[in-house]
Amino acid sequence: MKIMRQLSGLFIVVCLIFSMTGCGNSSPFDENNTDVQESGAEQSTETSAVDAEPDAGTDVLVAYFSATGNTKAAAERIAELTGGEIYEIAPADSYTEEDLDYSNDQSRTSQEMDNPDVRPEIGSEDIVMDGFTTLYLGYPIWHGQAPRIMSTFVEHYNFDGLTVIPFCTSGGSGIGSSAETLEDLAGSGNWLEGERFNSGVSKEEVQTWIENLQE
């Protein structure tokens, strides 16, 4: 019986420590969400500017080209945070490792980036833009610019009525004039300032960027 009393005393002390330290509220996104903390409800992004779950009836489209997966990962984070529909701008003739050799002047990508008139064909099916109001448009930086397939994409569609938000990933270069070049080629749409991400961009960084866009 003495042992039982000691054990129950220990249990009460542990419970008190837990209730005082508030263990479990460790998400940085909930720090200012007092509604959620006070009600003791599970962590939720309902009060956030962006939704966590993809929505079939979304008006957000996230279109991207990615040769080695970095921009794809950033696009997926954006789609997850906005509930947007995702669309891959896939080349009809996909890029091999040899094609992507930027140190070789004769590689396919070097040749394409040398010639602003090249328009690599898109292999993915056309997407119907009707119903979307926001387009996140992603690509990697190649030789300081957007890959030429992005020129093919922006010249193919009409962005009237759409807010276009360019984003890119790179090994270190900034977004430079790549987004302005695409905007000029598109000739339609309300283009916001673009953003450049590191290849391993975190969900938190993407979320902060999106929330600031909507302010």
Ligand X SMILES: Cc1cc2nc3c(=O)[nH]c(=O)nc-3n(C[C@H](O)[C@H](O)[C@H](O)COP(=O)(O)O)c2cc1C
- Site for ligand X, rule CB under 6 A: 66-72, 100, 102, 109, 140-144, 169-173, 199
Q: In the bound complex, what is the minimum distance in angstroms from residue 15's beta carbon to ligand X? A: 49
Nearer to ligand X, 36 or 195 (CB): 195
CA distances from 173 to 8, 51, 100, 105 (A): 61, 31, 17, 19
Taking Cα atoms as reference points, which of 19, 47, 18 lies closest to residue 32? 47
Q: Taking a C-beta distance cutoff of 8 angstroms, is the pair 176, 143 a contact?
A: no
Nearest approach in angstroms of CB 153 to ligand X is 14
Q: Which is nearer to ligand X, 148 or 189 (CB)?
A: 148
Residues 151, 184: Cα–Cα separation, whole Å = 10
Residue 75 C-beta: closest distance to ligand X, Å:
9
Whichever of 38 and 97 has its CB closer to ligand X, that residue is 97
Can you read off the two tokens belonging to residue 15? Answer: 């419970």
Residues paired with 145 in a beta bridge? 142
Residue 89 CB partners (closer than 8 Å, separation 6+):
63, 64, 65, 122, 124, 149, 150, 153
Instruction: Please say which residue, 29 or 209, places its beta carbon nearer to ligand X.
Output: 209
Shortest spacing between CB 116 and ligand X, in angstroms:
15
Q: How far is the CB of 86 from ligand X (least distance, A)?
A: 14
Closest CB to ligand X among residues 49, 100? 100
For 190, phi then psi, to 5°, come to -100, 100
